[in-house]
Structures are given as structure tokens and as C-alpha cells.
Amino acid sequence: MKQATFHDLSTATSLPPALFNRTETDLSFFVDKVKPIIEAVRIEGDAALERFARQFDGVKAERMSIRAEDAEFDAALERMDPKVVEAIRFAAHNIRAFHEAQKPEEMWLKEMQPGAFAGDRHVPIDSVACYVPRGKGSFPSVLLMTAIPAIVAGVPRPVVITPPGPDGKVDDATLVAARLVGIKDLYKCGGAQGVAAVAYGTETVPKCLKIVGPGSPWVVAAKRQLSNLIDPGTPAGPSECVILADETANPTLAAMDLIIESEHGPDSSAYLVTHSRAVAEGVIAALPGLWAKLDPKRAEFSQTVLCGDHGGVVLTKNFATAIEWVNEYAPEHLEILAEEPLAVMPKIRNAGEILLGNYTPVTLGNFVLGPNAVLPTNGAAKTAGPLSVFDYMKRISVGYVTRAGYDALAEQAHGFALYEGFSGHALAVSPLRKAILAEGK
């Protein structure tokens, strides 16, 4: 059995930059590869999507409809285990409740000066594509996390794109989740070709204004390439997690939670960071026994990550340095296992989400807790936050000045306009305006 990579920084005077690299840091390989895929979709439309479904997704079915048909939703619901359907309903309820609480008021106005009002109006984006990956499994949870805030925000046309399976169909749970939350338009196209389809539009797939959701480096590269045609949203690439542990952490529990994100795939990143050598060694010792309890494929993924260059156990000289490491890494998921996790939390500046204590493993956040689990990756948590209703809405500034409030603002604006050399601006707030308005009485 392999042993997790041990990064001993207990005597280091600085944090090694290489430890902060992710698998998607250099996308040059993928950028070159996605260009012909994108171009083919632009030129050929549906024909390219069908060809790539066979080439990349292994579709063997003779017939594949790009749009999921009503009968497919019905059949999926009939086949689904009722317990799984109940879990989807449970998660959907919490996710919807969280995002409804998050939704801003439609408009606010504040009196800035007597008779002068300004504010914001929140308007949903006309069309948003929700990307649901499938390459390393099926993810109805991602559909819930991306589609529910779209519905709550009031997006007129929310659509879902996801890769088809070898049978040319979408997995049952994703179809059931889509139906339960009110998604009607679901298209079988993933990877770079799926991104291109919603960026350009095809005979079947509608052109969308924005795309949200996590994806492989192929998806991330395509989003970057097409960012002039479609808003790519916050980067959400391969999964990553940091477990921050103090000396009170239970090593076996910490090792279990370290496995969570590492089992997503070999392109994930996962670290346990601690200043306690006993905890670090305990986690390394516990991992082989826990890997033995996993599905073999997931165990292989986890070992690849935790025994490779983008994961393992980091030992720092003190807890303050461990916190510094976390803030520099800016993880997608951060779990704090400490005697007083609430006291540690204010020291964390950069993380997509913070999960506190022994009873809040990443698993709960990923599926059922309520906050969005589509989170910024590759260090983007330094400037961005989780997917939210705000990602499906735009702000429009609103201003309203009454006759009584006009004079005070016009005088000051006139001075600004003259100083900056805009005579047209100045003319619009000159005495001529009041004269014209007076004539119109």
C-alpha cells in the first residue's frame, strides 16, 4: 500500500511555491487541444456534438437525441430508488431555502441628498447554462447546486448541459434532480464541445449568455477560449480541499475527511495541514486502512492524489504558519478540525467555504447542508466566492432626481465637467436646462 506524501516544513523559513500549484495551473496543453473542437462546433453545430459524443463520451447507441426527451425524465423517475429520490428532495429543500434567503431585494433606493435618490435594481440574466460533469461519475448534486439558484434568481431560460453516457442518455439521478427543481431544457453535450455549443448555439442547443458549474481542465480551457462570447463565471475546476488541524484533531477522522475530495479524480488536490507531528503521522498511518474500505477506483484516485505532487500531509512549525499556508493556498474547501474552530475562522481570509468542527465534513457541504458547493478553485478564492443567486443576476443602477434636488447636484456636476474638459456634460447641467424645462410648463 502506498504512503501519503509528507511535506515536512517544520524547519522551513518560507513556504515552497510548488506546494501551491494545482493540476490546472498550466492549461496550455488543453487550450491547444480545445481549439479545433470549438471550431468544429461553430461550423457544424449538432453534427459536431454527435460526433464528439461518440469520440469522447463513448456513445455507442445508434440514435442519440441531443435534447433530453420528456420520456427520458419519466423513465428515470420510475427506475430510481425511492431512497435516492428522497435524498435529492431533502438536499433540494435545503439548497433552495439557503438561496432564497440569499436573494437580494428587487430594488432599493436611498436619498443621497434632499430630493436625489440612487440605488440598485437586481435583474436575472436572460439565459444561463448549468454545466454538470460526468466523466468520473454522475453528479445530481451539481445539478441541484447550479440549477436551484438559477430558478430562485428567476432566470427566464436556465438550461443544463451534461455529457451523455455510452447509451446516449443522461444518468437517471441527474434527470430526476432536473425534474424536481423545474429544469425542462437539458442537453447531452459535455466537455469543450458543450461549452462551445452554449457559446455559439447550435440547431438544438440554445446560445446562452453565461455558463456556470465545475468541470475538467478541458472545460476550463474552453471557457477561457470563449470568454468573449459567453461569461465563463468563476473558475470551478478539479476538486481541492485542505484539512486544517490542530493538536487536538483525531488523526483517523482527519484522514477520512482528507480522502473526500481526493477521490474525485487524479487531477484533484488535497492536503492536511497541521503543526502537530503526532497528528500528521497519525493521519499517514490511518490512510491505508481507510483506502481499503473504498471502492477500488476511488481508492486509486485518492492514492494518486495523496501520494503525488498535489496532495499529502503538510507539517508546519506552528499553527500560525499552518493558517498562513491555508490563506496562501486559498482552497476550494477548507475544513477546520480544532479545539475551537470558531476562534480559528476569523483568521482565514481565503477559502471557497469553511466547514467547522468534527460534525461538518465536506460531504455534508457537497450534498445537503444548503450553501453552494460550486466553489472557486486554483486560488480564485482569493478574489471570488461560492456560486450564488448573485451569479445569475445583474445589478442595474437606478437614479432619480426631483426638481427640488436638482440644483445642488447640477452645480457640483457642472464644475466637474468643466474641469475634465467635457463641455457637452457641462451644457446639460447649465442654466439652459432649467430655462427649457420652465418653458415647457
Same domain, 135 and 103: yes
The whole-number pLDDT of residue 24 equals: 64
Classify residue 218: in a domain, yes or no. Answer: yes
Q: What is the mean pLDDT of residues 361-366?
A: 97
What number of CA atoms fall less than 13 Å from residue 80's CA on the CB side? 24
Is the pLDDT confidence value at 143 over 70?
yes
The whole-number pLDDT of residue 441 equals: 61
Q: What is the mean pLDDT of residues 245-265?
A: 97
Among residues 249, 266, 267, 247, which one has the least CA distance to residue 257?
Answer: 249
What pLDDT, in 10s, does the model give residues 92-120?
999 999 999 999 999 999 999 999 999 99
Query: How far apart, in whole angstroms, are the C-alpha atoms of residue 274 and residue 319?
Result: 7
The domain containing residue 218 runs over which residues? 28-234
Is the pLDDT confidence value at 55 over 70?
yes
**349 — pLDDT class (breaks 50, 70, 90):** very high
Q: What is the mean pLDDT of residues 344-357?
A: 98
Same domain, 356 and 300: yes
What pLDDT, in 10s, does the model give residues 317-340?
999 999 999 999 999 999 999 999
Same domain, 59 and 141: yes
Q: Answer yes or no: 44 catalytic.
A: no
**What SS3 state is found at 408?**
helix
The whole-number pLDDT of residue 217 equals: 86
Q: What is the mean pLDDT of residues 168-186?
A: 96
Same domain, 252 and 206: no
Cα separations in angstroms, 253 against 5, 62, 156, 366, 420:
18, 48, 44, 18, 63
**What SS3 state is found at 369?**
coil
CATH number of the structural domain spanning residue 105: 3.40.50.1980
What number of CA atoms fall less than 13 Å from residue 104's CA on the CB side? 18
Is the pLDDT confidence value at 1 over 80?
no
Contact 247, 255 (CB under 8 A): no
Among residues 176, 99, 86, 182, which one has the least CA distance to residue 138?
Answer: 176
Domain count, the chain: 3
The whole-number pLDDT of residue 47 equals: 96
Q: What is the mean pLDDT of residues 31-36?
A: 94
Classify residue 21: in a domain, yes or no. Answer: no
Where does a domain end: 319, 348, 370? 370
Classify residue 152: in a domain, yes or no. Answer: yes
The whole-number pLDDT of residue 291 equals: 97
Where does a domain end: 234, 251, 279? 234
Is the torsion defined by CA of 117, 118, 119, 121 positive or negative? positive
Classify residue 382: in a domain, yes or no. Answer: no
Same domain, 229 and 252: no
Q: Which one of the listed residues 240, 332, 335, 353 is annotated catalytic?
A: 332
Where does a domain end: 325, 354, 370? 370
Contact 353, 304 (CB under 8 A): no
Among residues 235, 226, 292, which one has the least CA distance to residue 259?
Answer: 292
Same domain, 149 and 168: yes
The whole-number pLDDT of residue 61 equals: 85
pLDDT over 70 percentage in the chain: 98
Same domain, 168 and 207: yes
Classify residue 121: in a domain, yes or no. Answer: yes
Q: Answer yes or no: 333 catalytic.
A: yes
Same domain, 164 and 299: no
Is the pLDDT confidence value at 142 over 70?
yes
Classify residue 426: in a domain, yes or no. Answer: yes
Q: What is the mean pLDDT of the chain?
A: 95
Q: Which one of the listed residues 122, 263, 333, 353 is annotated catalytic?
A: 333
Same domain, 270 and 310: yes
The whole-number pLDDT of residue 21 equals: 86
The whole-number pLDDT of residue 176 equals: 97
The whole-number pLDDT of residue 195 equals: 98
**25 — pLDDT class (breaks 50, 70, 90):** low
The whole-number pLDDT of residue 133 equals: 92
Among residues 256, 266, 260, 265, which one has the least CA distance to residue 287?
Answer: 256
Classify residue 159: in a domain, yes or no. Answer: yes
Same domain, 81 and 214: yes
Same domain, 221 and 265: no
Classify residue 182: in a domain, yes or no. Answer: yes
When computed from its CA atoms, the radius of gyration of the chain, rounded to whole angstroms, is: 26
Same domain, 86 and 161: yes
Strands 107-113 and 116-124, by their bridges, are antiparallel
Lowest mean pLDDT among 127-141, 299-313, 324-338: 127-141
Measured CA angle at 7 (ends 5, 12), to 5 deg: 170
Q: What is the mean pLDDT of residues 186-206?
A: 98
Q: What is the mean pLDDT of residues 158-175?
A: 95
**What SS3 state is found at 48?**
helix
The whole-number pLDDT of residue 370 equals: 97
